[in-house]
Chain A
């Protein structure tokens, strides 16, 4: 996108989801769930690694189910983003009233990775919107 802003070094995304923190955690870390909203990619997250196959890889630095997950990020789906330094993704899940969870994703340390910053800027909104849809309706977004 040509109109994309210059300062995208820290990006913040948040969404309310009608599900428990445990359900949100499971949807983030289990490949059967992620392939329904993460651009079809089965992602496996353990206390050590974020494994998105040929799409993205990272090392997990904080693993605190069902509250917080921090991992490094290298997007491999594009040669330009793959060549950039690793950035960092933080997932925070906070229980709210009425069986609702607030999920916040912070993608930072993007200062040296402008291609990655531009590439993920639209992607996280799509992913979180799909994640909400999967948890609340059982279905991913159409198309």
Chain B
């Protein structure tokens, strides 16, 4: 049931970008995140809300500030449910092949 929300949240480049920003430096305010995106405060808030509802971002208060943290657990759950199930080895081999071919091309 939660998988749908996670996949939907991840299906947007701006939201993936936000996750990458938090991966680089975790525990950030809305103002900090907004300053790195060419987007209105309202737009960033909307995307953060989708990420929070999917459990990919957890907001916690620290004094007067609201800090946003990347929560990697839903991605781990998808990994356990989907990636390891479908023969990770074969997929890895194909991914390696793709990288190799693209790099030498």
Contact = CB atoms under 8 A, between A and B. Distances in A.
Size class of the contact patch on chain B: 10 to 19
A128 interface: yes
Nearest to B69: A12
Contacts of B60: 12, 106
B71 to A, nearest CB: 5
Task: Specify the main secondary structure of chain B where it touches its partner.
Answer: mixed
A104 B72 contact: no
Contact of A13 (B2, B25, B73, B80): B73
Contacts, number: 54
Nearest to A129: B76
A5 B76 contact: no
A88 B60 CA distance: 16
A106 B73 CA distance: 13
Interface of B: 2, 23-27, 55, 58, 60, 69-73, 75-77, 80, 84
